[in-house]
Amino acid sequence: MKRQMAFVGTWNGNLVRRLAALVAALLCLGIGMAQAAETKNLKGVALIIGQSKYEHIAPLPNPANDARDMAKMLTDLGFDARSVTDRDAAKLKRDLERFTEDAEGADVAFIYYSGHGIEAGGENYLVPVDADVSSLRDADKALVPISAVMDALKTTVPVTIVLLDACRTNPFPAGAAVRHAPTASASPIGAGGLEPVRGAKALGNAPTADESLGTVVGFAAEPGRPALDGAAGENSPYAAALLRHLAAMKGTEFGSVMRMVTEEVYLDTKAKQRPWVNESLRRLLYSASHQRNRPATTG
Q: For residue range 15-38, what is the model confidence (pLDDT) as tens digits?
A: 445 544 544 444 444 434 334 445
Q: Which residues pair with 110 in a beta bridge?
A: 46, 161
pLDDT at 8: 36
215 by Cβ neighbours in 10 Å (0-12 / 13-18 / 19+) ranks as: buried
Instruction: Name the CATH topology of 44-298.
Output: Rossmann fold (3.40.50)
242 by Cβ neighbours in 10 Å (0-12 / 13-18 / 19+) ranks as: buried
Q: Average pLDDT, stretch 31-46?
A: 60
- DSSP-based three-state secondary structure for 46: strand
- Give me the residue spans of the domains in the chain: 44-298
pLDDT at 206: 41
pLDDT at 63: 95
**What single letter denotes the amino acid at residue 154?**
K
| 233 conformational bin, left if phi > 0, alpha if psi -120 to 50, beta if neither | left
Q: What is the pTM of this model?
A: 0.79
- Whether pLDDT at 111 is above 90: yes
Lowest mean pLDDT among 183-187, 208-212, 232-236: 208-212
Core vs surface per residue 142-154: b (16+ CB within 10 A) or e: bbbbbbebbebbb
What digits encode the pLDDT tens for the residues 68-92?
999 999 999 899 999 999 999 999 9
- Whether pLDDT at 290 is above 50: no
Q: In this structure, what DSSP letter does residue 158 have?
A: S
What digits encode the pLDDT tens for the residues 48-67?
999 999 999 999 999 999 99
- Computed over every residue of the chain, the mean pLDDT equals 80
Whole-angstrom distance, CA of residue 193 vs CA of residue 117: 7
